[in-house]
Amino acid sequence: MTHHETSALAAALKSALPDGAVLCDAAAVGPYAHDDAEWADYATPAAVVLATSVEDVVATVRIAGEHAAPVVPRGAGTGLSGGANAMPGAVVLSLERMTRILGIDTAERFAVVEAGVLNDDLRRRVAADGLWYPPDPASQAISTIGGNVATNAGGLCCVKYGVTRDYVLGMTVVLADGTVARLGRTTAKGVTGYDLTGLLVGSEGTLGIIVDVTVKLRPLGGREDRAIVGWFPSLAAAGEAVAAVSAAGIVPAALELIDSTCLRAVADWQGWTLPEGAAALLLAKVDEPGGTGEALAQQVAGLFEAAGGTHVERAFAPDEVDRLFLARRLAYPALERLGPVLTEDVCVPRSAVPTMLARIEAIAAGADVVIANIAHAGDGNLHPLIIAPEGDDNAKARAKAAFDRIVDECRALGGTVTGEHGVGLLKLPGAAAELDPAALAMHRAIKDALDPRGLLNPGKAFPAAPLPSGRRPSEG
């Protein structure tokens, strides 16, 4: 896009949108050019639109279409796969100012919220009515519901209560031509037509722009959290404990793993002292009430000890439960203090967790890079965190090689290349290897049907086939 074309696009946006809604100067648009993914490509966008209404979104999409400009939807920018990264000439469409909770139906247990509502804000608001929104990504305090839906975000409690997809009843979405479509239902059951709501969940802004979401809620009461933690002498031993919990038929409310690299980073930051020889920490939570919950907590503690766990501790009081889980909440920011972190997001069968952890350790040694591990171990979703010193290009290259090897080993164990962060840009090669050719063709057909000009977040979510003779999608 030439300077003249960029200027014309900006002028058209400014004339159609409220004062202050359009950012164009480099200093203002710079922070909106990318998400939190390390080393994913991005470019400075032509403009940023700070939408406050559905009408703003419609106007932006239509004007961008008139100027053949890509549109990159964005929530809070907390993504870790490059899904919100801009490309040259793009309009970044931020929904962070669309923060209204439009309604809560306490009888039918659902809420309607705009895309920019923060996950934690929704949870706090519905708690006042005795209701609960379970999906709890680690970024819950700063990530938006729209972004959670676009990536089908998970979280600590998803092993038992499911991921974002399981709580989305419907949505309002702006399509590539500016049409406003209302999808889904508010009833407990409904199978009318194709599941278009399900199609949009996890689509990473490539099929439409989600402007509001209808989410299912659960009763807040009836649960009693009990935490169990254990220190392990090796990652393999912690992995065996995870496998033992699964084999026993226990479905914990959370089962998280933190390795020694993460633990040392947190301990150094917070001034904690770690047990001697601790290579990994497992944190479990069960929430069945009364004697049932107590019996499960004792059983999990016994499985931890049988797998080699030491200093096994249990807690029931809410502040004690929070204390035991604090290390998990602090792990990622503690590692970021050490340097840029390339975050992996692979998911393997639960029984393969010990094997995958061992392979990650071998990959780290072979590539001569530091790889820390945190994991939603209860459902096999591992987050190896690869750290390379700032400015060390050789270390960066080794980190990227390790990233790709982890993806390959995950697939070899029957896993998937992304459990909750999305494909974005970083996982395109892995997605190309994972998706069946017929399934990939279906992706392309759906994209072409809903976005024939290919302007909605192009190049994200799934690998697109190269076009013959360099033609644009709009050229047929």
* Region 89-110 average pLDDT: 98
Tokens, residue 65: 């279409």
Residue pair 424/203 in contact by the 8 Å Cβ criterion: no
* Region 326-349 average pLDDT: 90
Q: How does DSSP assign 85-107, residue by residue? A: ---TT-EEEE-TT---EEEEETT
* Region 426-444 average pLDDT: 95
Sole residue written with tokens 């204390």 = 323
Q: Is 221 exposed, middle or buried (0-12, 13-18, 19+ CB in 10 A)?
A: exposed
pLDDT tens digit string along 343-391? 999 999 988 998 999 999 999 999 999 999 999 999 999 999 999 888 8
Close Cβ partners of 31 (under 8 Å, ≥ 6 residues apart):
77
Confidence of residue 465 (pLDDT cuts 50, 70, 90): low
pTM: 0.92
* Domains located in the chain, CATH noted: 3-94 (3.30.43.10), 101-219 (3.30.465.10), 223-324 (3.30.70.2190), 339-421 (3.30.70.2740), 428-475 (no CATH)
Confidence of residue 220 (pLDDT cuts 50, 70, 90): very high
162 Rama class: left (phi>0) / alpha (psi -120 to 50) / beta: left
Please provide the average confidence, as pLDDT, over all residues in the chain.
93
Close Cβ partners of 51 (under 8 Å, ≥ 6 residues apart):
21, 57, 60, 93, 94, 95, 97, 98
> What phi, psi does 147 have (nearest 5°)?
-65, -40
Q: How far apart are the first and last CA of the chain?
A: 21
Q: How does DSSP assign 297-308, residue by residue? A: HHHHHHHHHHTT
Close Cβ partners of 260 (under 8 Å, ≥ 6 residues apart):
274, 278, 279, 280
Tokens, residue 237: 């031993």
CA–CA distance from 353 to each of 235, 241, 264 (Å)? 10, 10, 22
